[in-house]
């Protein structure tokens, strides 16, 4: 199971992308609001109890100062994937990106792109798939579908702009 947490409800439209992807793959998840600044005790309880509750990976999204992913990572041995979110009080998202990306040595947080919750969901599923062949197969089908989508666009472009490249 994967935990998906965010600093506030305003982050939900971004973080739902991870939830929808995991749901499509049949991966169980929980999703809730856990604020590092406004509910620090809830954050500590969530992080410290995650492993005992059966979580294998935590996806944590936050905007602004974005302390949630790092603080959670400091309280658990589970892998944490940080999703920097462009929030209303953000400095073009750079504050969130750097707050999650620049963790001190010893407390790593995997960091995806700004508003990249979909990639966080994919990465979390890939982590689980290292010990789950069925999930690995579903991920392979997903990746093959991405390849097919790109190759279909190649054919469309080639009909509009014929050329000799056939690879």
What is the tens place of the pLDDT at every residue in 50-106?
Answer: 999 999 999 999 998 899 999 999 999 999 999 999 988 888 889 999 999 999 999
| The two three-digit tokens of residue 55, written as one number | 């979580």
Q: Tell me whether residue 118 is exposed, middle or buried, using C-beta atoms within 10 angstroms of its C-beta: 0 to 12, 13 to 18, 19 or more.
A: middle
As annotated, the binding site includes 8, 11, 38
- Read off the pLDDT of each residue in 126-151 and give the average, rounded to a whole number: 96
Q: How many CA atoms lie within 13 A of 26 on its CB side?
A: 9
As annotated, the binding site for substrate includes 8, 11, 38
What proportion of the chain, given as a percentage, has pLDDT over 70? 99
pLDDT recorded at residue 155: 80
Please say if the pLDDT value at position 35 is more than 80: yes
Q: Is the dihedral of CA 125, 131, 134, 136 positive or negative?
A: positive
CA distance 32 to 161: 48
């Amino acid at each position: 199971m994967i935990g998906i947490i965010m600093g506030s409800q305003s982050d939900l439209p971004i973080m739902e992308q991870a939830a929808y992807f995991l749901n499509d793959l049949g991966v169980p998840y929980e999703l809730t609001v856990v604020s590092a600044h406004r509910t620090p005790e809830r954050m500590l309880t969530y992080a410290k109890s995650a492993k005992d509750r059966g979580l294998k990976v935590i996806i944590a999204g936050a905007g602004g100062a974005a302390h949630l992913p790092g603080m959670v990572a400091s309280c658990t041995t589970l892998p944490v994937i940080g999703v920097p979110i462009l929030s209303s009080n953000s400095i073009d998202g750079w504050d969130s990106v750097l707050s999650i990306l620049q963790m001190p040595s010893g407390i790593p947080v995997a960091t995806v792109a700004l508003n990249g919750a979909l990639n966080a969901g994919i990465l979390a599923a890939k982590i689980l798939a290292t010990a789950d062949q069925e999930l690995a197969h579903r991920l392979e089908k997903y990746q093959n579908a991405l390849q097919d989508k790109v190759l279909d666009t190649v054919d469309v472009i080639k009909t509009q702009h014929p050329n000799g490249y056939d690879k």
